[in-house]
Structure formats: C-alpha cells, structure tokens
C-alpha cells in the first residue's frame, strides 16, 4: 500500500530560525511529488512539483528537494507569514489512472 | 487565470435537504476533483473526472452525487446527508489526470444539522 508520512506533525520556530520538514514515501511507480501550503479554512496552495531524485525547486524562503525515499522542504529565515500547514502529496500509478495521496501535513508556527 | 472558484463558501443544511456545491475553472484543465477534508486531516479524494467522464469514485456513499456538465464546471449534489458529513469540501483541477499539479478552490464549509 502506498504511504506518505510527514514529520514533524507540528513545528514551532522563532522568526529567522531555519528548519526542514520531511516527507517520506513508499509508492510504486512515483510520477511526481507535490508540496502544498494550506492556511486554516482555505484550500491548499500549490508550491512545488518534484519528479526525480536529485531535483530541487526554490521559491522565496522555501526550497524543496527529493531523494528516492523522501523529500525535504527547507525553510530559510522564516517569517510569521510562513505559518501554515504544509502538505506533501505523491502521485502514483493505480491501473490506468494516477491517484494523489496526501500526507497528514506539518503544522508550522513561526513566532515573531 | 489560475483560479478555481467554489460556491457557496459556507453551507448549512438539514439532513432532509438537497443542495449542490459548484466549482468552476477556466484554465482549460481536463481533470477535476472533489476532496473532503476534516479538521486537522489531509484532503481525502472523493471523485475524479477526466475529460468530463467520471474516472474514479473512491467508494463514496450515494448521498453524494457528482456531475460534470462541461469541461469548466463541476457540481456535487448532496442529499440526505448525515452530521458526520460536515467538512470542508474542496474542488481542484489539473491539466490531466497524468499531471496532478492541482489547483484548489477555497472550499465550501459544509455543516449538516
């Protein structure tokens, strides 16, 4: 069974304190790994897609990396506005379709 | 325009009511999705439409009935819901089911009383 595990469940940082979120996965036939940001009561906002091991993507203070078993979302010098839940999803083949499987997310709080 | 628009934003309905949730996108995406999300849980896939045809139904109870009238619109018809169906219902779209860089709407907060 395909699985996506995110850690930690919750993370509290001081403004400027860099850290990383982890997404480990066990899927057969990975077609892509996605990172989303979700604010309370809102829909997830797409951040990055990673397709192959070694790939990296950056956007402002966020950098996503991918290995054969896990992905990291590095947050450099975070600001309070980076507080949100960060979701990881993998897209794996299921017969003739591709079904996205989400992890439970990491709730990030950045204190000023 | 990278927007997926969902209406209404909030909905309160009784267990005997019939209501519909609506979703619209104008990005030319040919895959559209309904997700259900409970508090502090990840989105849970309900239905997938590909080229206006239902391609995936994740064993969702028949009190939820999806409809895709055209490539830009997706509806979710609700009937005889239970209080445990209260959740945030999210619509998403992607270029195809082979590319699920999905764009999500802001959701409909549904409360069943």
Reported as a single tens digit per residue, the pLDDT across A69-102 is 999 999 999 999 999 999 999 987 666 667 778 9
Chain-chain contact of B104 with A97 (C-beta, under 8 angstroms): no
Spatial distance between the Cα atoms of B50 and A19, rounded to a whole number of angstroms: 38
Predicted confidence at residue A97, as pLDDT, reads 66
Average pLDDT over residues B77-88: 96
Distance from CA of B105 to the nearest CA of A (A): 6
pLDDT at B82: 96
Residue B37 CA to residue A90 CA, distance in Å, equals: 17
Q: Tell me which residues of chain A have a C-beta less than 8 Å from any C-beta of chain B.
A: 31-32, 34, 36, 41-46, 49, 87, 89, 91, 97-100, 102-105
- Asked if A38 contacts A84 with a C-beta cutoff of 8 angstroms, the reply is yes
pLDDT for B43-58, tens place per residue?
999 999 999 999 888 8
**Beta strands B31-37 and A70-75: pairing type?**
unpaired
User: What percent of chain B is modeled with pLDDT above 90?
Assistant: 84
- For chain A, percent of residues with pLDDT exceeding 70: 94
Residue B80 neighbours by CB under 8 Å, 6+ apart: B15, B16, B63
Give the Cα separation of B43 and B66 in Å (integer).
17
Count the neighbouring beta carbons within 10 Å of the beta carbon of residue B9. 11
| CB spacing of A46 vs B41 below 8 angstroms | no
pLDDT of B2 above 70: no
Is the pLDDT reported for residue B98 higher than 90? no
Query: Does residue B109 surpass a pLDDT of 90?
Result: yes
Both tokens of B33, joined, read 């999705």
- Residue B94's SS3 state is strand
- What pLDDT sits at residue A72? 98
pLDDT for B99: 67
Q: Say whether B88 and A41 touch across the interface (CB within 8 A).
A: yes
């Amino acid at each position: 069974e395909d699985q996506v595990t995110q850690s930690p469940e919750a993370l509290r940082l001081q403004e400027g304190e860099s850290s990383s979120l982890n997404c480990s996965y066990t899927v057969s036939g990975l077609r892509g790994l996605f990172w989303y940001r979700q604010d309370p009561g809102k829909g997830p906002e797409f951040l990055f897609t990673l397709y192959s091991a070694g790939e990296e993507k950056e956007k402002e203070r966020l950098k996503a990396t991918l290995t054969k078993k896990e992905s990291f979302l590095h947050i450099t010098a975070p600001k309070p506005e980076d507080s949100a839940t960060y979701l990881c999803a993998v897209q794996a083949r299921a017969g003739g379709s591709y079904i996205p499987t989400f992890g439970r997310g990491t709730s990030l709080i950045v204190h000023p | 325009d990278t927007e997926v628009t969902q209406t209404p934003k909030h909905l309160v309905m009784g267990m005997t009511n019939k209501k519909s949730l609506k979703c619209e996108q104008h990005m030319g995406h040919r895959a559209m999705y309904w997700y259900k999300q409970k508090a502090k849980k990840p989105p849970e896939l309900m239905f997938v439409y590909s080229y206006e045809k239902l391609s995936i139904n994740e064993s969702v109870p028949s009190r939820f009935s999806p409809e895709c009238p055209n490539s830009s619109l997706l509806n979710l018809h609700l009937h005889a819901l239970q209080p445990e169906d209260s959740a945030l219902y999210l619509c998403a779209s992607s270029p195809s089911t082979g590319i699920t860089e999905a764009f999500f709407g802001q959701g409909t907060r549904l409360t069943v009383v």
